[in-house]
Structure 1
Amino acid sequence: MLDYASLAAVAAVVREGSFERAAEHLGVTPSAVSQRVRGLEERLGVILVVRGQPCTATGQGQALCAHHDRVQLLEADLSPVLSQATTTARPPLRIAVNADSLATWFAQAAAAFSTANGHLLELTLEDEGRTADRLRSGEVLAVVTSDPTPVPGCKTVALGALRYAACASPAFVAEHFADGIHEASLARAPFMRFDPHDRLQARWALEACGTTLSGPSHRLPSTHAFLDFALAGAGWGMHPVSLAAPHLASGALVELAPCRRIDVSLYWTVTRLHASALRSLTDAVRRVAAATLVPARNGQALG
């Protein structure tokens, strides 16, 4: 039988990043937190927390933190039938989402859920092709992902697609693409990418021009920085159409090839935990996605 006070201490250290901040969160002393963590490690015979700046969880520690989060969610559902003295505080839901979804539609779903249910959210930003890895590791309870591959113990639902356009400022296009969009001009023109895993610009170059993308690139881990750099004439990149539309209408941005937009299919993958908070969050995500994304071919559960 696990000692849940000690398990809560481990989870707080991992979430807050230090024993001192964990102590503040739990309302105890740092010494008490240290004793609880060390005591649980000794009883289990494994290291759960890697001491550092910040503190991180080992594989075993991550698994126990995930278990702690799930137990908290299930206990929160008991609050209506328990006395005030034994009710459990509602834990934050840990979700991984890509930056473009957060900037365009996910915030609306998250706000609607949090306002209606009183739960807080703890969001991790990750490339849409890699968010599912966060779920497999137990770091989060649900993800927005472009990967429809089933995750054991989870349900995947098609949400729709986020549509992108290749955009740049008129001055940038005049300077770098005066003779058209082709392999040589793409090799010279600076472009933007979110991180080393961002292949969206390369996908567009291949589909629109049949060429690989080898030009110089800015690395900008921010959806709004992408837009700001494009407006400033620093490079071209793929932008969610919903964000770029006002600037395209005003002429501040132009599309490199207006008929060559790209759709990125998105999915909601959530652990199969019978917790009302996860069901409510899933409902909010599906409702907002249906109203804002390009309709998916189907919306049924995939796994």
Structure 2
Amino acid sequence: MTNPIIEYSALAAVAAVVREGSFERAAAALGVTSSAVSQRIKAIEERVGAVLVLRTSPCRPTSVGARMCAHFERVQLLERNLIDGMPNLFTVHPACAPTIRIAVNGDSLSTWFPAAAGEFARRSGNLLDLVLEGEEQTAQLLRSGEVLAAITADPAAVQGCRITPLGILRYVAVASPAYFTRFFPNGIDALSLSKAPMLRTDREDALQARWAKTVLDSDVSPPTHWVPSTQGFVDLLRVGLGWGMVPHILGDRYIASGELQPLEPLRALDVTLYWQYSRLFVHILHDLNKTVIATARTLLFPPSEERMSE
């Protein structure tokens, strides 16, 4: 009998180090010594001919290591599915629930997705590993095999995946009243908008530029504050740091309280979100898919093509 290509006890050590962030914590989680964890990882790295774990603080996976960890998580899910389907044939059951890795955009994670995650976890007992990424980039994590499901803004299905429209996340351009008075005393135009500092979450965040292009038919490049946090983004808008696009689910209450005001009350940017998931794991993901879709349909606007609302 030939030796297995992958030694799963060694791969379990890799996954534990990546999950726990250090060899010591991984050893404690696995119930072995740090030396044993190190030896297992060294052995599998020699076997595959690549470094899998960067010995940093915290430890991080290489691109190959991330793929190997994703493979290990999938094997665990398949094993759990098999055991659950034939409980009378197995006397030993997994010590902990399997983990499902999902790519989620920050605005969904800060608004409607927690309700779906909480409901799914209560019903299934499964664990979730949420990977934070922009909705325009989450599909790439599906293509690379790093996640089993993702919230995307791309209507094209990733190869090997199924796709379902979730609904519209509506964005409103807002600023504090004091900020508005200071920078837009005569209203919004291309000149005033180009001088008014705006907020962006990261270099991929194009919502502000898209809104300005559609409303003013102009490309503007205002001074920019970088704020990599959805709630921090809203909080800094409230204290007058700049203007920016916020999901209606977060922004409506602050508009109602007078802490924020829309730059153009009748012009909002609608972004249609989609749920994509691996076809190979459709049965394992059934409950998760059902919960995510039902929650989105409750909290988001009905799905349609991406458009500007007036």
Q: TM-score range by the shorter chain?
A: over 0.9
Q: Does 1:55 pair with 2:59?
A: yes
**1:220 partner amino acid:** V
Normalised by the length of structure 1, the TM-score is: 0.92
**2:19 partner amino acid:** R
Q: 1:225 aligns with which of 232, 244, 253?
A: 232
1:59 deviation in Å? Answer: 3.5
1:224 deviation in Å? Answer: 1.2
Q: Which runs of 5+ in 1 are unaligned?
A: 299-303
Tell whether the 8 Å contact from 1:62 to 1:139 is kept in structure 2 after alignment. Answer: yes
Question: Residues 44, 252 of structure 1: CA spacing in aligned structure 2 closer, same or farther, 3 A cutoff?
Answer: closer
Partner Cα distance (1:18, 1:221) in 2: 26
Q: Does 1:155 pair with 2:159?
A: no
Tell whether the 8 Å contact from 2:272 to 2:304 is kept in structure 1 after alignment. Answer: no
Q: 1:27 aligns with which of 17, 28, 31?
A: 31
Partner Cα distance (2:28, 2:297) in 1: 41
1:86 deviation in Å? Answer: 1.8
The count of corresponding residues between Structure 1 and Structure 2 is 298
**1:49 partner amino acid:** V
1:137 deviation in Å? Answer: 2.3
Q: Does 1:86 pair with 2:99?
A: no
Partner Cα distance (1:103, 1:200) in 2: 17
Q: Does 1:101 pair with 2:118?
A: no
1:159 deviation in Å? Answer: 0.9
Q: What secondary structure is seen at the aligned counterpart in 2 of 1:180?
A: coil
Tell whether the 8 Å contact from 1:156 to 1:267 is kept in structure 2 after alignment. Answer: yes
Partner Cα distance (2:304, 2:261) in 1: 29
Partner Cα distance (1:125, 1:144) in 2: 10
Q: Does 1:123 pair with 2:130?
A: yes
Q: What secondary structure is seen at the aligned counterpart in 1 of 2:245?
A: strand
Identity of aligned residues (%): 50
Normalised by the length of structure 2, the TM-score is: 0.90
Partner Cα distance (1:87, 1:173) in 2: 60
Tell whether the 8 Å contact from 1:94 to 1:121 is kept in structure 2 after alignment. Answer: yes
Partner Cα distance (2:106, 2:46) in 1: 40
Q: 1:173 aligns with which of 133, 156, 180?
A: 180
Cα deviation, 1:1-42, whole Å, max 9, x if unaligned, reads 222111111111222232222112212111111111112223
Q: What secondary structure is seen at the aligned counterpart in 2 of 1:175?
A: helix
**Corresponding residue for residue 308 of structure 2:** none
Partner Cα distance (1:24, 1:271) in 2: 32
Q: 1:255 aligns with which of 256, 262, 272?
A: 262
Tell whether the 8 Å contact from 1:166 to 1:256 is kept in structure 2 after alignment. Answer: yes
Q: CA RMSD in A?
A: 1.8
